[in-house]
């Protein structure tokens, strides 16, 4: 593992005025600022409704490790300097392990890791096909899901710090299962993954730590107890349980 904890230093804690403004109005961000968030397993999932703050968290965590949405190796060339940060990224500190400190303090070329953002991931698969050091296959000729899986296989093959925001967006059920096996393998081989997801398939990755984000802030929870899993179970058993409330 590379990152043990994400927290806000005393001196950077929001004052009363700031607590009334975004992002500290988001309950999980407020809790992070107060308590910090520990990472207890190589693979951590953040699960929660739209707007619960998952992207805000993972973006700031990725920034803390100097990853951006184009990945560590190309970040410098892509023009977004490290100094441009999100509001939470400005104040967030990562407590790294010895391996994490070495990687973060070392040259960019030795940094292994990636921030995969749902909104930009597909564009990225198109732009980076054929760039040396990235994947060889031409992902533009593949379907959306195939391109994603190719990228995942090529990019996530070394120990490093991988941050992902809803990587399941383009994936079928079967492709999600492939991604589960990749994530699990990453976790088993010394990498660390922090992943925001709506997918009950991904969240079931064996050995993963699941943090449910919502009005309450955040809490550790078992897969079985996730609201998301409960909704899917009930919907698949009988869609009408839900549909009768929304369709006349
Ligand atoms: N740059 C921003 N400025 C103000 N509010 C924002 C900004 N980005 C996100 N928000 C708000 O913060 C909340 C959490 O958003 P987000 O982290 O994207 O949630 P999620 O990824 O869980 O859907 C939402 O209410 C969203 O509208
Ligand atoms: Mg999001």
> pLDDT tens across 169-192, in order?
878 898 899 899 999 999 999 999
Query: Is residue 8, in this structure, part of any structural domain at all?
Result: yes
Query: Is residue 215, in this structure, part of any structural domain at all?
Result: yes
Pocket of ligand 1 from Cβ distances under 6 Å: 22, 26, 48, 50-56
Strands 209-214 vs 217-220: parallel, antiparallel or unpaired: antiparallel
Domain count, the chain: 1
Is residue 75 predicted with pLDDT exceeding 90? no
Of 22, 25, 92, the one to substitute when testing ligand 1's pocket (max ligand atoms within 8 A of C-beta) is: 22
CB-based neighbours (< 5 A) of ligand 2, an ion:
54-55
Is residue 193 predicted with pLDDT exceeding 90? yes
Is residue 166 predicted with pLDDT exceeding 80? yes
Of 51, 169, 194, the one to substitute when testing ligand 1's pocket (max ligand atoms within 8 A of C-beta) is: 51
CATH code of residue 71 = 3.40.50.11940
Query: Is residue 248, in this structure, part of any structural domain at all?
Result: no
Is residue 68 predicted with pLDDT exceeding 90? no
Cα 213 to middle of ligand 2, angstroms = 12
Domain that holds residue 33: 3-243
What whole-number percentage of the chain has pLDDT above 90?
63
Report pLDDT digits (tens) over 133-145: 555 566 656 666 6
Exposure of 145 by Cβ count < 10 A (0-12 exposed, 13-18 middle, 19+ buried)?
A: middle
Q: Is the peptide bond before 40 cis (omega within 30 degrees of 0)?
A: no
């Amino acid at each position: 593992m590379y990152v043990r904890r994400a927290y806000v230093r005393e001196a950077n804690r929001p004052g009363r005025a700031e607590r009334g403004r975004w992002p500290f109005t988001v309950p999980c961000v407020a809790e992070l600022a107060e308590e910090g968030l520990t990472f207890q397993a190589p693979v951590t999932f953040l699960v929660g409704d739209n707007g619960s703050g998952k992207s805000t968290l993972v973006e700031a965590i990725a920034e803390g490790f100097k990853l951006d949405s184009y990945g560590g190796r190309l970040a410098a060339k892509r023009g977004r300097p490290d100094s441009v940060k999100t509001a939470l990224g400005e104040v967030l500190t990562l407590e790294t392990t010895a391996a994490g400190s070495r990687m973060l303090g070392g040259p960019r070329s030795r940094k292994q890791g990636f921030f995969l953002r749902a909104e930009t991931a597909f564009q990225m698969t198109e732009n980076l096909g054929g760039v040396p050091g990235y994947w060889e296959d031409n992902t533009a000729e593949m379907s959306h899901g195939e391109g994603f899986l190719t990228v995942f296989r090529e990019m996530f093959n070394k120990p490093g710090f991988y941050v992902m925001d809803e990587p399941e967006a383009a994936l079928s059920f079967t492709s999600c299962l492939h991604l589960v096996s990749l994530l699990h393998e990453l976790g088993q081989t010394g990498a660390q993954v922090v992943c925001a997801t709506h997918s009950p398939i991904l969240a079931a990755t064996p050995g993963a730590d699941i943090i449910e984000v919502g009005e309450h802030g955040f809490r550790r929870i078992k897969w079985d107890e996730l609201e998301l899993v409960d909704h899917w179970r009930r919907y698949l058993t009988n869609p009408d349980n839900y549909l009768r409330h929304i369709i006349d």
